[in-house]
Amino acid sequence: MGINMNYLFVVAHPDDEVLGAGGTIKKLSEEGNRVEVCILCGEAKARKNRPKTAKLRQDIINCSKIIGVRKVYLGSFPNIEFNSVPHIRLVQFIEKILAVSEAEAVFTHHPADVNNDHYQTSLACQAAIRLFQRNPVIKPVKELLFMEIPSSTEWSLNSSLHSFTPNIFVEIKEAGLAKKIEALSQYEGVMREYPHPRSETAIRGLASYRGCQAGLLYAEGFELVFRREQ
């Protein structure tokens, strides 16, 4: 991952960006990179204990400020019903955001994730990053990375699919982990009690484990699947 680049995190729901990469987003932003987030289901209407729309929007704003997101793009695709949306609609929406954000590196969900919205987001994002081949005006995406969402990605029970296997580890240290947890706490009803994977204890444990895998302090793991260099 380079310095002074444009990063775009394409996720299905509000909170996915923090669960998957909150510490990394904070780090990239502090290093001077432009970090933006695209949330395909901005309203999350099927979410249990969902706050009112105005409160959810404020949660998104508060969270973004904490981790340094420059801009958030919100879609209105139906929660837990992405499979009912024509694939091309998801792809074209992401393509528009890629063009506006001039993204050079894209993070999105892993395609073996048990959450169908995450799965559909991943497929659409994989298709959308080829936009530069059809439109020479568009800046080519240099990198595509998959991230893990606690309470979802680990439930990749279909053994015929390649499960999430991180090969890139970003050290976020104690400060980055604290900001990640602080940002998550802005989303009403997202954090749970241990041993739920979205508990503070579990999130700290995952960051510790990913760090140990690479000889780092607290870290977030990603799977690099595409890199284009010139």
* Count of the separate structural domains present in the chain: 1
Q: Which helix (H) or strand (E) holds 124?
A: helix 116-128
- Tell me: the pLDDT tens digits for 115-153? 999 999 999 999 999 998 888 888 899 999 999 999 999
CATH, residue 99: 3.40.50.10320
* pLDDT tens-digit map of 49-81: 677 889 999 999 999 999 999 999 999 999 999
Identify the pLDDT of residue 14: 95
Confidence check: pLDDT of 160 > 90: no
Residues 192 and 202: their CA atoms lie apart, in Å, by 10
Judged against a pLDDT cut of 80, whether residue 47 lies above it is answered with: no
Give the DSSP H or E segment for 35.
Answer: strand 34-39
Range 97-105 average pLDDT: 97
Band of pLDDT at residue 3, cut at 50, 70 and 90: confident
In a domain, 46, yes or no: yes
Classify residue 31: in a domain, yes or no: yes
The set of residues, in sequence order, having a beta carbon less than 8 Å from that of 75 and lying 6+ positions away, is 38, 39, 40, 41, 42, 93
Residue 1 lies in a domain: no
Predicted confidence (pLDDT) at residue 187 exceeds the cutoff of 70: yes
- Computed over every residue of the chain, the mean pLDDT equals 94
The token duo for 158 is: 């279909």
Q: Which helix H or strand E contains 211, and what residues bound it?
A: helix 200-213
Q: Which of 11-25, 37-51, 90-104 has the lowest mean pLDDT?
A: 37-51
Is residue 98 in some structural domain? yes
Tens digit of each residue's pLDDT (9 = 90 or more) over 162-182: 999 999 999 999 999 999 999
What percentage of the chain has pLDDT greater than the value 70? 97
Whole-angstrom Cα distance, residue 199 to residue 123? 28
Quote the pLDDT of residue 134.
87
Q: Write down the pLDDT at residue 48.
A: 66
pLDDT at 45 over 80: no
The structure tokens listed for 208 are: 């510790």
Domain span including residue 102: 6-227
| pLDDT value of residue 150 | 95
In a domain, 223, yes or no: yes
Percent of the chain with pLDDT over 90: 84
